[in-house]
Chains A and B, each alone.
Chain A
Amino acid sequence: MAAFLVFPSYLPLGSQILATILFALSADLVLGYAGIVTLGHAAFFGTGAYTSGILAVNGWGEPISGLLAGALAAAVIGVVSGFLVLRTSGLTLLMQTLVVATLLHEAANRASSITGGDDGLQGMQMWPIFGVFRFDLFGRTAYIYCLVVLFLCWWLARRIVHSPFGRSLTGIRENVLRMHAIGAPVMRRRLVIYTISAALAGLAGGLIAQTTAFVGLGFLSLDRSGTVLIMLIIGGVGRLYGAFIGVPLYMIAQDRFSEVAPVYWYFWIGLLMVLVVAFARGGIFGLVGRLRR
């Protein structure tokens, strides 16, 4: 909210940050709470973005239903791929999630008549939200729209994490064998959270598609799946607040840095990653927590 008043010229970046926080939040649900390490979370983000985007390009510019359609499509991909992928673990699981995302990437690339292929999807016409609030040139509506969606999803995620269901997920993460032994339906619970997380990632993708009026193949790339992990790690995994710290830090730094030398951004972020993993596990919150102790 503060950003709205203080930096009016950064509102478009602000909306992107908010939507990306949602994406990172969804990744935190599978990664931090269910302990599923994935290299293919962009699959859901991209699916949501393409679904909302394709609707808007083809004459259905109603934002809320477009957003929900994106989330639904992502959830379907999530439940189907999760059903297949979550049976495995370790390297195989990593690779399977990557394969799913790569398949979708390839599909979007081939179906260029629908998705725009390499050029990306352009020419979205968004209708006003509730028929009242137009998307203005300065991105004010977009910012508040993202803020509201993010708040609702954060509230939902919080509810999930603190419910008995969320607790049992943590149990599965910490000790699968014991959870099997006490009769918890491990596979089903993992599938449920995977699907919820996919839907939230789809919402995030839809938000970015609608507010920037662009979707590209990069939305489905390994690069995207990797950077969301990195943003999450910077803030801290399994804390629900990690995304709120890591994403703005990453994206503002990237925005600043890109003006100087965009190509070399990757070097510094890679280095930061290596240092965080080697010396500061638990991200910034973890570091603060350790200093306090």
Chain B
Amino acid sequence: MTDALSAAVSISFHGLAFAMVLYLISVGLSVTMGMMGFVNLAHGVFAMLGGYIVTSLISRHGVPFGLALVAAAVFTALGSIVIERLLYRRLYGGDELDQVLLTVGLIFMSVAAVTYVWGPMPQPMHPPRWLAGEVDLGFRSFPAFRSFLILCGAALVTALWLGLERTRFGVRIRAAVDNLRMAQSVGINTSRLFTLTFALGSGLAGLGGGLGADLLAISPSYALDNLIYFLIVVAVGGLGSIGPFVAALLIGVADTGFKYLLPELGAFIIYLLTMAILLWRPRGLFGRA
């Protein structure tokens, strides 16, 4: 019995950590999808970039962990503004195929560019000394780095919700997601709102990529390999802020659990589950018709 309980605890713990990373990375994708109707398959590139910045700042330049995370978020956010202004803007409201091709092209470019700069091998993540080892919670001890990840994720998720629900900026975002034309007619500068939101989402993805560098290994094919996870979170969750979080929790815990309990079937179940959910609710668990 205690064995089963301890397995359940560790599945929930690691699942929760994975869910946080998934949510941080995917939430931006969900908002760009909802607001601009833009299929940004290259969203994982920002997460990958964040991961590379964090790992290389720490291991090559000895930058403190916290500072490296901030640098990753800021740099990816700024980089994404350039891409949004230069390329994405042209295709808002355009053909879905064009959006897919543009973003697949960006993924391919990122694969080669990253290989050029950092080489083909995965980058190791060295947690700082104060996060190495375990944290003892009395009944059980947990890896400190993962615990930090969960706390960090929880804090960001709360901040994000409060920001969306309680600030003027959040109101504008929700208005634009709900009804773009109406939001424009009441005088919201949606063009600037798009850019800011896009940068925010990309910055969060960069942060998520950096924080989760030991969960989703940082390698050149990152954006291709993990694309399916990010898409699943957005599609299963539906658009909005709560949906993707629930979906990330579901996927994070289920994926960890099935890989632990049924390693033979591994990823199969998660994909079948996704298909089943989307057959039942094509717009996602929290989507509106």
> Which residues of A approach B to under 8 Å, CB–CB?
31, 37, 39, 84, 87-88, 90-92, 94-96, 98-99, 102-103, 106-107, 110, 222-223, 226, 229-230, 233, 237, 263-274, 276-278, 281
Contacts and interface: CB of A to CB of B under 8 A. Distances in A.
Given A95-B274, A270-B112, A274-B109, 15 more contacts: A87-B282, A88-B278, A92-B235, A94-B39, A103-B271, A103-B272, A266-B109, A267-B111, A267-B116, A270-B107, A273-B101, A273-B104, A273-B105, A276-B101, A277-B98
Contacts of B33: 91
B105 to A, nearest CB: 3
Interface string B85-127: 0010011000011101110111111111101100010000000
B116 A226 contact: no
Contacts, number: 126
10 contacts: A37-B97, A84-B275, A87-B282, A91-B231, A94-B39, A98-B227, A106-B267, A229-B100, A270-B106, A274-B109
A47 B272 CA distance: 19
A110 B107 CA distance: 27
A99 B268 CA distance: 10
Contacts of B5: none
Contacts of B248: none
Interface of B: 33, 39, 41, 87, 90-91, 96-98, 100-102, 104-113, 115-116, 120, 224, 227-228, 231-232, 234-235, 264, 266-268, 271-272, 274-275, 278-279, 282-284
Contacts of B113: 267
7 closest Cβ contacts across the A-B interface?
A273-B105, A270-B108, A267-B112, A270-B109, A95-B231, A266-B112, A270-B105
A263 B115 contact: yes
B279 A90 contact: no
A77 B166 CA distance: 48
A39 B102 contact: no
B279 A277 contact: no
A230 B109 CA distance: 13
A90 B228 CA distance: 15
A79 to B, nearest CB: 16
Given A37-B96, A91-B235, A95-B235, A271 B105 contact: yes
Contacts of A230: 101, 104-105
A163 B191 CA distance: 44
B91 A277 contact: yes
A37 B99 CA distance: 11
Chain B binding surface SS class? helix
A144 to B, nearest CB: 34
B100 A37 contact: yes
B235 A263 contact: no
A94 to B, nearest CB: 7
Chain A binding surface SS class? helix
A99 B97 contact: no
A105 B58 CA distance: 35
A223 B225 CA distance: 10
A265 B101 CA distance: 17
Nearest to B102: A277
Which of B113, B115, B266, B278 counts the most chain A CB atoms within 10 A? B278
Nearest to A92: B235
Which of A91, A226, A278 counts the most chain B CB atoms within 10 A? A91
A95 B283 CA distance: 12
A265 B116 CA distance: 12
A219 to B, nearest CB: 16
Contacts of A39: 41, 100
A95 B232 contact: yes
B120 A269 contact: no
A106 B269 CA distance: 11
B41 to A, nearest CB: 8
Contacts of B110: 270
B153 to A, nearest CB: 23
A39 B266 CA distance: 22
Given A84-B279, A223-B224, A98 B231 contact: yes
A278 B90 contact: yes
Contact of B231 (A94, A106, A266): A94
Which of A96, A271, A276 counts the most chain B CB atoms within 10 A? A96
Contacts of B109: 266-267, 270-271, 274
A237 B95 CA distance: 13
Contacts of A226: 104, 107-108
B266 A106 contact: yes
A98 B246 CA distance: 22
